[in-house]
Amino acid sequence: MRIHLSRPHMSGQEQWRVAEAFASNFVAPLGPQLDAFEASVREYLGADVHCVGLSSGSAALHLALRIAGVGSGDEVWISSMTFAGGIFPVNYLNAKPRFFDLDPTSWTVDTAWLSEELAKASRENRLPKAIVPTDLYGQSVDLEPLQALAEQYGVRLIVDSAESLGATYKNGRKAGTGGDAAILSFNGNKIITTSGGGMLVTRHKAWAAEARFLATQARDPAPHYEHSTFGYNYRLSNICAAIGLGQIEVLDARVARRREIFARYKGALSRPGIAFMPEPDGLHSSRWLTALTIDPTETGIAREDIRLTLLEHRIESRPLWKPMHMQPLYAGAPYHGACVDERLFANGLCLPSGSDMTDEQQNEVIERITTLLDRGR
């Protein structure tokens, strides 16, 4: 049996919620299940925010950037280590990315580099239109200094929280509540899923209203189809939202299980040359994926040795995100940092972390890795 990296894990409540949508014939894009799912996410986040269910996290980022005023030629400053869907919307708007490195103590965007470059850009009258930091592998970015910088320089802050639903920042503040807007993802491999889907979360009521308008083909009020601007078919389907209603109920349990999986990996695999993603004081990561690095000079075993051995035994793992400034698509794009993200990519690996993974399956993963490490030593 294949051991997946992170597969959907149903609660048992999804089927009757979907059946309820079918029974009421709300199988079109909008309906009461979508309204209820947006409300349930807002209640979970526990903040004065507005939630707009969308077809993907990328759609949410695209809308947030457009509403923030990003247009052709504008700069968007963004974490370099991110999923491609967290940067492509910059291209959709014909804007220009400027990439930033990670802080080695958190593996999230380095606010010192941002602060230094913002001061320089302010003096040179070339401030970005928006900053997009990425919550990585279930861990929130350092929100307080980021929000202070955005306010100081009058720049919009849009937090990519696609990987961190269920995590908390300092004082219990939920990931997904930062900045002018945050984006969430409910893709199939996320900690909870709606099959495919995402959400825009914003403290601005007007942003939420505009997002709903643009996401439903920008149809103006009229008995016919009237359009004064272009829009998108970006709304989350009511059927998918019904799945989300069954998933949101077990989100905290899923976080607890993934943290338990992380702790078992750390306890079994910690040794010289193995380093796990750190968790700064005051933060509570969802540990969406267990991420670690392997130093081959100490272990005698490289990241690829482990990944390929696991693959031979039908165990899925994958390297950390390849930084965007290293991608052919973004060759020559500005980058600021000390190449922390490059080193993490060179030696980093994500291990199977699904909340439905059994202890026996995890024991097999651990045994395969420790056997290799013992051989290398």
212-250 pLDDT, tens digit per residue, is: 999 999 999 999 999 999 999 999 999 999 999 999 999
Give yes or no for residue 133 having a pLDDT over 80.
Answer: yes
Domains contained in the chain, CATH given: 14-248 (3.40.640.10), 252-376 (3.90.1150.10)
Give the side-chain half-sphere CA count within 13 A for 66: 23
Task: Please list, in sequence order, all residues whose beta carbon lies within 8 angstroms of the beta carbon of residue 24, skipping any fewer than 6 positions away.
Answer: 31, 32
Average pLDDT over residues 14-24: 90
Neighbours of 358 (CB within 10 A): 10
The candidate with the shortest Cα–Cα distance to 349, out of 281, 265, 285, 254, is: 265
User: pLDDT tens-digit profile of 266-282?
Assistant: 999 999 999 999 999 99
pLDDT for 25 equals 87
Average pLDDT over residues 75-98: 98
DSSP 3-state of 118: helix
Average pLDDT over residues 299-313: 97
CA distance linking residue 89 with residue 84, whole number of Å: 9
The candidate with the shortest Cα–Cα distance to 130, out of 166, 173, 165, 87, is: 87
Predicted confidence band at 29 (pLDDT cuts at 50, 70, 90)? confident
pLDDT > 90 fraction of the chain, expressed in percent and rounded: 95
Average pLDDT over residues 195-205: 96
pLDDT for 27 equals 84
Looking at every residue in the chain, the average pLDDT score rounds to: 96
pLDDT for 26 equals 86
Predicted confidence band at 296 (pLDDT cuts at 50, 70, 90)? very high
- Per-residue exposure over 219-229, b if at least 16 CB sit within 10 Å of its own CB, e if not: eeeeeeeeeee
Out of 179-183, 353-357, 371-375, least confident range: 371-375
One-letter-per-residue 3-state SS of 307-339: HHHHHHCCECCEECCCCHHHCHHHCCCCEECCC
Average pLDDT over residues 67-93: 98
pLDDT for 147 equals 97
Rg (CA), the chain: 21
Contact 319, 308 (CB under 8 A): no
The amino acid sitting at 268 is A
Average pLDDT over residues 136-157: 98
Average pLDDT over residues 288-298: 97
pLDDT for 183 equals 98
pLDDT > 70 fraction of the chain, expressed in percent and rounded: 100
Predicted confidence band at 38 (pLDDT cuts at 50, 70, 90)? very high
CA distance linking residue 38 with residue 46, whole number of Å: 13
Q: What are phi and psi of 54, to 5 degrees?
A: -135, 175
Give yes or no for residue 293 having a pLDDT over 80.
Answer: yes
- Of 79 and 23, which is predicted with more confidence? 79
Tell me whether residue 206 is exposed, middle or buried, using C-beta atoms within 10 angstroms of its C-beta: 0 to 12, 13 to 18, 19 or more.
exposed
Q: Is the dihedral of CA 228, 231, 236, 237 positive or negative?
A: positive
Average pLDDT over residues 370-376: 91
pLDDT for 181 equals 98
Neighbours of 117 (CB within 10 A): 17
pLDDT for 1 equals 84
